[in-house]
Amino acid sequence: MEVIKQLKTVLPEQLIQQNEMMSKHTSFRIGGIADIYISPQNSEQIKNVITIAKQYNIPVMIIGNGSNLLVSDKGIRGIVIQTANNMNEIVTKGETIKAESGALLSAIGAEALKHSLKGFSFASGIPGSLGGAVCMNAGAYGGEMKDVILEAEVLTKELDIKKLSVKELDLQYRHSVIPEKEYIVLNATIQLEKGDYNTIQKEMTELAEQRRQKQPLNFASAGSTFKRPKGYFAGKLISDAGLKGYCIGGAQVSEKHGGFIINKGNATCADVIALIEHCQKTVFEKFGVSLETEVKMIGEK
């Protein structure tokens, strides 16, 4: 209660929630209770929350739109800071778009289309926020964030604001310097090119249709469960192993796409983890290929 009291001195009360179910805030619709859940409006509020957390030795977890997360059934001890609700401003200037970390990629895609800017269509259907996309160098359909990011502004462990070029971000396949340095993405600037509105719109429509045809969008999931192993496709390996449709509890390997594990409606985190491990074991036994998870697992063990 003392921590809550302190938080209320630096944040509007409506931004602070106690004992919040994380299943409400992840695309998997899975996850137990977070002790304290905060939706800050700016970087200063994030700094203040982290300062208070340090005083009381309380762990802090940063999330965006929750689209690539598997949260423990036991929930998350400490403070969860979620940026997607209130830190989502998008500003276009010429051929660049500067957006806060909580801005959805779909909203940035719509903004790019509005200004006839090409180069972002690959990301416009990814159901995540910009901060998470920068952290993992998100990509789809031959494009990656490293192709369009100009620079990002981050909050360091020392609570200093630092600007990083795309080179300094060290964006590689599903990797950036952000997690290892424990940075928090505040915003990023995207460099695009002038294009034709109708051509960009057509490309976005075609990619959206491909997603609908190939991905189980009518079920809760965290997107692609596994990273692409070198020389292989995780979905094909899982399909070739005969695992499409395989269930453990409420978790199922999608019958539509072997690379997705879905929540059929009542899956627990434990169900999903057991299914992930079964897929990894089966694929390794059959093909000698190790599958590494792309979905991020967080929360109390």
Any idea which residues carry the catalytic annotation?
Answer: 174, 224, 294
Distance (Å, whole) CA 20 – CA 258: 32
Distance (Å, whole) CA 101 – CA 89: 9
Shortest CA distance to 187 belongs to which of 60, 126, 61, 97? 97
Q: What ranges in the chain are assigned the alpha helix state H?
A: 2-7, 43-55, 105-114, 130-135, 166-169, 178-181, 197-214, 234-240, 269-287
Sorted by sequence, the CB contacts under 8 Å of residue 218 that are 6+ apart come out as none
Q: How far is CA 203 from CA 97, 113, 127, 210, in A?
A: 19, 10, 17, 11
Distance (Å, whole) CA 272 – CA 179: 24
**Count of CB atoms within 10 A of residue 220's CB?**
17
**Count of CB atoms within 10 A of residue 300's CB?**
13
Per DSSP, the chain holds a count of helices (H) and strands (E) of: 9, 19
